[in-house]
Structure 1
Amino acid sequence: MEFVDSLAGGHAGTAMRPVRPGPAGGQGVATVTRPVTPSAAADPRTVGVRHYEGGQLVWRVQCGDLISRERAVTVFVEDNQVVVVSPPGETARLTSGQLGQLRAALNEAAKMAER
């Protein structure tokens, strides 16, 4: 949740893996996921949008909210599923260029999730 909380606070965060409880109340064990690598034919609209945070490939598309505050929509792949994190308040106002970036990010993430 630190990752999502850092997004809500507007700060770049480190992706945290879910932790499963250990046996008999012991320490948890981090969920293991395979490394995520970008597609060789990555969409040029995601250049500058795609980066790594804590070893996790993340797309962060800048947008605004209904009262024109700067926000971001974040996309990443976790356990072969695409995760979309909306800005606080669940409202994202995107220009046509930002919408193109989000579309490209979702397309790349979907291809990676299928592997």
Structure 2
Amino acid sequence: MVWRVQCGDLISRDRCVAVYVDDGEVVLVGPPGEAARLSADQLWQLRAALNEAAELAER
């Protein structure tokens, strides 16, 4: 399962942050070579994705 959270970069291009579980560890992948700019709503989505991934990793 991969969670994708839409975000932007520093010059407002559409990007995404991906979250997934690999071998019991949570992996967070940002835009390659860039910063991710997230709104408050996008941060809530990222938080939810990280929480779900953490629960899955603990199984």
TM-score when normalising by structure 2: 0.96
Identity %: 71
TM-score when normalising by structure 1: 0.50
Amino acid at match of 1:97: D
5+ residue gaps, structure 2: none
Measured on the aligned residues, the alpha-carbon RMSD in Å equals 0.7
Moved over 3 A (4+): none
How far did 1:89 drift? Answer: 2.1
Rg larger in 1 or in 2?
1
> Which of the residues 46, 53, 65 maps onto 2:9?
65
Aligned pairs, number? 59
What's the counterpart of residue 111 of structure 1? Answer: 55
Higher relative contact order (CA 8 A, sep 6+): 2
Higher strand share: 2
